[in-house]
Amino acid sequence: MSASMIAEYGLLSDCASAALVSRDGSIDWWCPGRFDAPSVFGRLLDADAGHWTLCPVASSDRRTEREYVDDSLVLRTVHHTRDGDVAVTEGLVAEPGARGHELGQNSPMVLARVVEGLSGTVRMRCEYVPRPEYGLIVPYLHCRDGEVQADAGPLTLILRSPVPLDCAHGRAYAEFDVRAGQVLGFDLAFAPAYGPPPRHLDPVPALAETVEAWRVIRELHPYDGRYPDLVRRSALVVQGLTYRPSGAVVAAVTTSLPERLGGTDNYDYRYAWLRDFILTVRALWVTTCPEETGRLFDWAARSAGRTGDEPVPIMYGATGERDLSEYSLDHLRGYADSRPVRVGNDAWHQRQHDVPGLLIGAHLLQDEIRDLSEESKALLVGLAEQATHWREPDAGMWEDRGPGRHYVASKAMCWGALDSAVKLAPLLGPRADPERWATVRDEIRATVLRDAWNDRVGAFTGAIGSLELDASVLVMPGTGIVPATDPRMRATIEAIATDLTTDGLVRRWPDDPAGFVACTFWLVECLAMAGETARAAALFERAAARANDLGLFAEQIDPRTGAHLGNTPLALSHVGLIGAAWRLTKPSFV
């Protein structure tokens, strides 16, 4: 059996690592320990890279329903078969007693699954095929006393099973009956090979504790705006993508899921992008969690360190690692034969002018609720100085790996950086230079309004001198460089709505293979800011309906088939939904 369609997967998270489980009950992706660790289940990228399946034996005439338990990331799947009904409840469990933001601080690294007979008698199968190091290692399995121990390379895995398992050739298997009222718990514990042994937790109470931990997080994130159910789900996904020990929010939990099936644009998204910083901060701020936005600021300042003439890296590892050098896993076939499969991301050393604007703007949003440390002041001054180099080309928001260009969104972000820095200058100490910053800021605006507009296209194009539309310019009204009501910005919005939008999904550029979820929500915001609230709401609702049955979005969606594409679940897609919902609530929100 190969990997399921991307939209068929549900997310499990303990705010340190994540797993993906298919509708059919197969865990096809788990990187225990932290989001960017090597996988032990990697069938998502290769049929032979490991999985753990727990589902009814009969596949025909089976109907499946699933939902998260009480707004947690504990998943309950009900399988309806001819012989009866059975539920599987599963999750990456919380530390016993952990509540709210304590979740993930000291993760026990245990994956628990509980089978419950609901009616009749259902024949089930358990197939456990661990393949550590992205499928490179076939471990020896030792079956004894209800446990299956796998010792392989740098890790130990112990599966506790209530049913006997037959072990052979790195695979453990069992078929068993579940009667109505019967409850069977499985738990899989991970630990590094040369440390304390894996922890074991009773699956039933462990999952109940985990639901309670997530419930407290939900209560810490009240939201008073339109589409509250959708916003709460997306906020929970953002929480699930947060590496709690540092506060960083990773872009996604997967690597190398393709933008185009069979294509080569397959990248590792298990890192934290500063590009997404202000949007994530705003999402957390909208859901009223200043504690987490503060931790995110601290992470960014610590990760960036002292700034100099070199540009600030656009992304970091979850604990602030800079060197994310990329390499290929040539032994993996890739999702839908999409190669290469990559680990690391060479975009980490690109120049992107949007980074200063995102970081400084994020601090401006927060300056009333937290004091700036000396490190933060130094960082903000350094970022403002970097924004004064706005005339240099960069890689742009979409991380073009070719020669740099003069991307319009990047220029707008430099304008936003300096505009925010001028406003923050009284808090930044003696190194602040607001008069010079204001002069450069005004130069940027004059240049963008003069040179970014293209009469032949009738819109602001993606790069100065280009004839190609690019949805990245939808960020311009949000920076303040030009209002959405400006006639040329309105014309640009209409051009994107007409020429880059198919079935309610916005592509980034004309040849983009599918709609980019975040860009669709940015168009919603622009329409709302332009005063077209009803039209914006209709587009929002149409886009939100494209989520999978659990409310999850990947990076892109094919407007013809509805198939999700790219890495999943994508933080930028979900913070885009939150931002659009809030913009529809308060169109004048900055």
pLDDT category at 489 given cuts 50, 70, 90 is very high
Which residues, listed in sequence order, are joined to residue 76 by a DSSP beta bridge? 67, 89
- CA 524/CA 342 separation, integer angstroms: 33
Model confidence at 495: pLDDT above 90: yes
Q: Please give the residue that has the higher pLDDT: either 29 or 478.
A: 29
Cβ atoms of 79 and 85 closer than 8 Å: yes
Cβ atoms of 518 and 571 closer than 8 Å: no
pLDDT category at 347 given cuts 50, 70, 90 is confident
All domains of the chain in start order, with CATH: 6-217 (2.70.98), 221-585 (1.50.10.10)
- CA 170/CA 149 separation, integer angstroms: 11
Torsion of CA 229, 233, 236, 240, to 10 degrees: 170
What share of the chain in percent tops pLDDT 90? 72
Q: Please give the residue that has the higher pLDDT: either 93 or 365.
A: 93
Assign 3-class secondary structure to 390-425. Answer: CCCCECCCCCCCCCCECEHHHHHHHHHHHHHHHHHH
Q: Please give the residue that has the higher pLDDT: either 450 or 3.
A: 450
pLDDT category at 589 given cuts 50, 70, 90 is low
Which residue reads 């997306």 in tokens?
234
Which residue reads 């068993």 in tokens?
176
Per-residue pLDDT, averaged over 110-127, amounts to: 98
Per-residue pLDDT, averaged over 456-484, amounts to: 96
Beta strands 453-454 and 459-460: pairing type? antiparallel
- H or E segment to which residue 323 belongs: none
Amino acid code (one letter) for 581: A
What is the per-residue pLDDT for 370? 54
Q: What is the pLDDT of residues 227-264, one digit of tens each?
A: 999 999 999 999 999 999 998 999 999 999 999 999 99
Between 12-16, 103-107, 116-120, 417-421, the lowest mean confidence (pLDDT) is in 103-107
What is the per-residue pLDDT for 353? 67
Q: What is the pLDDT of residues 137-169, one digit of tens each?
A: 999 999 988 999 998 889 999 999 999 999 999
Average pLDDT, rounded, for the chain: 91
What share of the chain in percent tops pLDDT 70? 93
- Which pair of structure tokens corresponds to residue 304? 């960036």
Per-residue pLDDT, averaged over 514-527, amounts to: 98
What is the per-residue pLDDT for 367? 46
- CA 63/CA 84 separation, integer angstroms: 11
Q: Sign of dihedral through CA atoms 374, 425, 579, 581?
A: positive
Model confidence at 308: pLDDT above 70: no
Between 77-81, 150-154, 295-299, the lowest mean confidence (pLDDT) is in 295-299
- CA 180/CA 444 separation, integer angstroms: 69
Model confidence at 530: pLDDT above 80: yes
- Which pair of structure tokens corresponds to residue 86? 């059975």
pLDDT category at 103 given cuts 50, 70, 90 is confident
Q: What is the pLDDT of residues 1-28, one digit of tens each?
A: 457 799 999 999 999 999 999 999 999 9
